[in-house]
Amino acid sequence: DFRFKARVWDMAHTNTICNGCARGCNIEVWTRNNEVLRLVPRYNEEVNSYWMCDHGRLNTFKFINAGDRVDGPHMRVEGNLIKVGWDEAFAKAASNLKVFGKDEIAVLGSAYATVEDNYLAAKFAKSVLGTGHLDFVRHIDPTFGDEILRNEDVTPNTKGTELAGVSPSKNGFDFNGIVKAIREGKIKALYVLEDDILNDNPELENVLAKLDLLIINASNFNKTSALADIVFPAATYAEKNGTFVNFQGRVQRIRPALATNDVDRALEGMSMSRLDKFGTKYDRWAQGKHYDSRSSWKILVGLASAMGQKLKYNMAEEVFYDISNSIDAFKGLDYDVIGELGVQLKSVNLKSTAKI
């Protein structure tokens, strides 16, 4: 996709992880002018050796450059989604959520989101909203997997989402229970984290239409956001720090290759080529669209604050520090320990013990 757009020596490259399936192939994201132009495999003998599949190489970044990106918070006004400011969106979401009892609200995490995002989703659900109706949708495609690289789980972080504590409490509903409760009018508000649940489950459109309030974090406008009352713009995997846990139980880091309004190239430790290393807004090497998006964990921190609950996180590393101190599987880990090649979690600790 970079043909006629750039030479390889014009681009910056960043070490990260493919988000195309639960394999978690190690890759480099190559960018120029704040646009993803190329993905190439990165050596990791424990995961993908020197390889990545064609789907991962050619398709998994197209949504990042797509024209349907959510650029700034949107709120439904007179039937239409209108762009608004962050403070206005947080205030509206907070006031709307406060209308409902804790048993009338459900939260869906996402295996497309990071461990950090899902950990905050679980904390937000249980500690801020007080609801135990918490789960996430598994996306399994038996026709996608092979015996070489591709895994039938087409999300990068199912294991990490489970470990992060995204599961119903003792008396809470799982996904099927949440759907049933919405049909019966028992659940009236739903918060969805980075998952277009209608894409794989179109039959649920009439179910979601019964909700009094639907809030979604999304990087792109989609079938689910089309029904939402409030849409928060979620950063893509190429625009944030965080971790995924692959199907083998290996925790690996993702890193930002693109700048957003919230993530600065210089401050976030991005890999840079010699040409854009010192780029400014006046330098052609640093030009390109900067989306007004944030990591989902940061969106939830802002919303919690609007609801009168302070979650004191400013960086993804701080969220992971909390994770490493509260979930047995991540004990003793930090971003430096995980490093470039990831760390295999101990099998005896793969069951979540999240204290949220």
| Three-state SS sequence of 184-196 | CCCCCEEEEECCC
Q: Which of 91-95, 121-125, 282-286, 333-337 has the lowest mean pLDDT?
A: 282-286
168-181 confidence digits (pLDDT tens): 999 999 999 999 99
The pLDDT, as a whole number, for residue 313 is 96
Say if 135 falls within a structural domain.
yes
Closest CA relative to residue 171, chosen from 247, 263, 102, 245: 102
Cα distances (angstroms) measured from residue 199 to each of 81, 102, 139, 195, 224: 20, 28, 11, 9, 8
**Are 128 and 304 in contact, with CB atoms under 8 Å apart?**
yes
pLDDT band of residue 278 (cuts 50, 70, 90) is very low
Q: Does any domain span residue 3? A: no
**Is it the case that residue 232 has pLDDT exceeding 60?**
yes
Residue 4 — pLDDT band, cuts 50, 70, 90? confident
Q: What is the CATH number of the domain that holds 273?
A: 2.20.25.90
DSSP β-ladder status, 35-41 and 26-32: antiparallel
**What is the spatial distance between Cα 94 and Cα 8, in angstroms, rounded to a whole number?**
46
Task: Looking at the structure, tell me whether residues 33 and 116 fall in a common domain.
Answer: no
| Position 2 confidence tier, pLDDT thresholds 50, 70, 90 | confident
- For 7-37, the pLDDT digits (tens) are 888 788 899 999 999 999 999 999 888 899 9
Same domain, 137 and 89: yes
Sign, CA torsion 129/213/188/183: negative
Query: Residue 142: which domain range?
Result: 74-236+296-349
Domain tally, the chain: 2
